[in-house]
């Protein structure tokens, strides 16, 4: 069932992506023709542009909605086994190593929630994060937060906390909220294991008010159960354990709750982790400097982004050169038949090259303008994006046309510099 659904989703995404690319090329062609024919942009162009943008935004909304359904398998249904099966299928079907890495992040999280901590840790550390967007660094450290919490390793958990604190300065509003939440969870974890109930009582109210997803609730309720057990409140501990059993589904939290209930019922003795007694006893350990492993550079990712930009510009220029070159050839023939003196160059080849050069520059400029436009609005809210789309597209198209050559030169220079540094 999951594989069938995953395959359907994959085919729909591939079809939608291909359709968007085709529509984008058609938009570029139409824009070029319209500018060549009239020298201006009319109402038809605006209507076409709005339709194209609407389709793009609609496709993105659909993908986001479908992805939420997949994420809900783990974070709402608490079923890491189904979650892992879906992403293993996605990973098996893709040939791109970068995309496989994205799927491996999800698989690692699923393995951790199944209780296979060592396997999850090994898989996560095999991922090449240098070829992934910077936002996935937080995914790595969030995984490490959960992993070292499971292992009761305060020394490493302190480093993760330091990384999160460092990232707060440049984080966007939503990202900042998530980071603060993760820091609270780490502090709560530490308080529970140190049996620092004063800190626990302060943090637990904040953490429970922030909980929006079932997996978060299950993990926090398990901490609450252990805390009440340490306090000697057996009834409360049992109540929290029952919540974990009811909602934890197939996560490792359920097994932990069963073990704690067995201890509470006198069926088993509590197991004391040797690692726990060593790692959590010194308060100073929680103040260590962060490990900035993945903040040292993103050379591979940046280089790939620059190369992709240059490829799109080259593609746009080639399309523009062919289209406008053909238009120039036709125009030259018509002017020659009418025995009209051709402006600037009478030679047919030079006339066609002139049109092709300017047309290629125009289309490349449009692509550059769209690129700059998307780069500027990427960090803005949805409302601001809509306002900017409606009122500033012509500005970005003009700016893109003016800056396309210097920006291409800049990208080439940066690629050369980064390659020299690597040597």
pLDDT digits (tens, 9 = 90+) for 94-121: 888 888 888 999 999 999 999 998 888 8
350 C-beta neighbours (distance < 10 Å), count: 14
**pLDDT value of position 287:** 45
| Per-residue three-class SS string for 149-171 | HHCCCHHHHHHHHHHHHHHHHHC
What span, in angstroms and rounded, lies between the C-alpha atoms of 363 and 319?
8
**pLDDT value of position 23:** 79
pLDDT band at 252, cuts 50/70/90?
very high
45 phi/psi in degrees, rounded to 5: -60, -45
Q: Please state the pTM of the whole predicted model.
A: 0.67
pLDDT at 362 over 70: yes
**What mean pLDDT comes out for the span 316-330?**
80
Helix segments in 115-134, DSSP class H: 117-124
Contact predicate 129/250, CB 8 Å: no
**Of 61-75, 228-242, 405-419, the least confident:** 405-419
Q: How many CA atoms lie within 13 A of 65 on its CB side?
A: 6
Domains and CATH numbers, the chain: 135-294 (1.25.40), 298-423 (no CATH)
Contact predicate 102/133, CB 8 Å: no
**pLDDT value of position 273:** 42
Helix (H), strand (E) at residue 194:
helix 173-194
**Of 45-59, 203-217, 228-242, the least confident:** 45-59
**Of 132-146, 182-196, 261-275, the least confident:** 261-275
pLDDT band at 43, cuts 50/70/90?
low
Q: How far is CA 405 from CA 32, 123, 302, 369, 400, in A?
A: 18, 43, 19, 12, 9
CB burial of 299-323 (b: ≥16 within 10 Å; e: otherwise) equals: ebbbbeebeebeeebeebbebbbeb
DSSP 273: P
**Of 127-136, 140-149, 158-167, 207-216, the least confident:** 127-136
């Amino acid at each position: 069932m999951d594989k069938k659904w995953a395959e359907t989703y994959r085919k729909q995404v591939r079809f939608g992506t291909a359709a968007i690319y085709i529509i984008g090329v058609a938009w570029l062609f139409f824009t070029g023709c319209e500018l060549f024919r009239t020298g201006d942009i009319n109402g038809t162009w605006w209507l076409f542009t709005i339709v194209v943008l609407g389709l793009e935004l609609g496709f993105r909304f659909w993908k986001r909605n479908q992805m939420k359904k997949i994420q809900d398998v783990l974070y709402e249904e608490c079923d890491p086994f189904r979650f892992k099966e879906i992403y293993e299928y996605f990973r098996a079907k893709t040939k791109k190593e970068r995309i496989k890495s994205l799927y491996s992040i999800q698989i690692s999280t699923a393995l951790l929630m199944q209780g296979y901590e060592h396997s999850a840790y090994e898989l996560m550390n095999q991922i090449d994060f240098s070829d992934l967007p910077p936002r996935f660094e937080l995914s790595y450290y969030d995984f490490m937060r959960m992993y070292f919490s499971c292992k009761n390793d305060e020394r490493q958990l302190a480093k993760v906390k330091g990384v999160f604190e460092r990232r707060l300065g440049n984080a966007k509003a939503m990202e900042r909220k998530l980071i603060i939440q993760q820091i609270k969870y780490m502090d709560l974890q530490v308080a529970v294991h140190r049996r620092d109930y004063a800190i626990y009582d302060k943090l637990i109210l904040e953490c429970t008010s922030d909980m929006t997803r079932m997996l978060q609730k299950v993990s926090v309720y398990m901490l609450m159960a252990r805390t009440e057990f340490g306090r000697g409140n057996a009834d409360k501990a049992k109540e929290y354990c029952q919540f974990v059993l009811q909602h934890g589904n197939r996560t490792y939290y359920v097994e932990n709750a069963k073990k704690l209930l067995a201890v509470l019922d006198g069926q088993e003795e509590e197991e004391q982790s040797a690692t726990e007694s060593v790692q959590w006893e010194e308060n100073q350990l929680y103040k260590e400097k962060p490990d900035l492993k993945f903040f040292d550079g993103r050379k591979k990712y940046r280089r790939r982004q620059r190369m992709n930009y240059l490829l799109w510009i080259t593609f746009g220029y080639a399309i523009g050169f062919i289209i406008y070159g053909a238009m120039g050839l036709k125009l030259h023939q018509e002017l020659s038949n009418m025995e009209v003196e051709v402006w600037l160059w009478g030679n047919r080849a030079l006339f066609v090259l002139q049109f092709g050069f300017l047309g290629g520059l125009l289309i490349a400029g449009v692509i550059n303008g769209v690129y700059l436009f998307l780069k500027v609005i990427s960090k803005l809210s949805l409302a601001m994006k809509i306002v900017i789309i409606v009122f500033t597209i012509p500005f970005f198209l003009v700016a893109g046309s003016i800056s396309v050559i210097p920006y291409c030169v800049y990208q080439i220079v940066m690629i050369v510099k980064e390659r020299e540094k690597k040597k």
